Amino acid sequence: MSVVILDGSTVRGFVADDDAFARSVDARFAALDANGDGVLSRAELRRALESFRLLDGAGFGSAEPAPLPAEVSALYDSVFEQFDADHSGAVDRAEFRDQMRRIMLAVADGLGSQPLQVAVDDEGGSFLLEAAEHEAAAIAAKIEAQRAADAAAK
């Protein structure tokens, strides 16, 4: 686990860098495409969603029971339909990229403008970690450019 400090602008800046964002999303897509056929099946996407453990019930001290299997299946089917924009029965790389862009921009909106400390998994290709690293690299490049400009002016 790592802890990063970020806000909505950190995430928006990462998403706005088309090349960096595409590399990140494409790497995640390739990791999820278990059979290497170039598309994500319903089962491949479901395994990825299950890894987030959002539906374990009673997490974080909740007294709520775990959802029923039929409810979980309906939710996963609904999410798959959102990703499968052309309703082909599989999610291609472009569909995955478009949906991840929408999700990350929604996360940015939710984060707002106040910096937050966020614990992120540093072993799973966390988009938030990559956004924070992207921002840090941009800041370092600006500082280096300013130092070079100052040195040239002397």
Structural tokens at position 70: 């039929």
Structural tokens at position 15: 């998403």
Q: Is 154 exposed, middle or buried (0-12, 13-18, 19+ CB in 10 A)?
A: exposed
Cα–Cα distance between 54 and 72 in angstroms, integer?
10
Interval 68-114: pLDDT, tens: 778 888 888 999 999 999 999 999 999 999 999 999 999 999 999 99
Q: Is 75 exposed, middle or buried (0-12, 13-18, 19+ CB in 10 A)?
A: middle
The residue with greater pLDDT, 2 or 104, is 104
**Domain count of the fold of the chain:** 1
pLDDT on residue 54: 56
Torsion angle, alpha carbons of 20, 22, 23, 26, to 10: 160
Owning domain of residue 99: 2-153
Q: Is 14 exposed, middle or buried (0-12, 13-18, 19+ CB in 10 A)?
A: buried
Interval 113-141: pLDDT, tens: 999 898 887 776 688 888 999 999 999 99
Torsion angle, alpha carbons of 107, 96, 133, 15, to 10: -60
User: For position 13, which CATH number holds?
Assistant: 1.10.238.10
SS3 39: strand
Across the chain, what does the average pLDDT equal? 88
Enclosing H/E stretch for 23:
helix 18-32
Count of CB atoms situated within 10 Å of the CB of 79: 16
Judge contact between 95 and 25, C-beta under 8 A: no
Q: Is the pLDDT of residue 42 over 90?
A: yes
Structural tokens at position 72: 């979980």
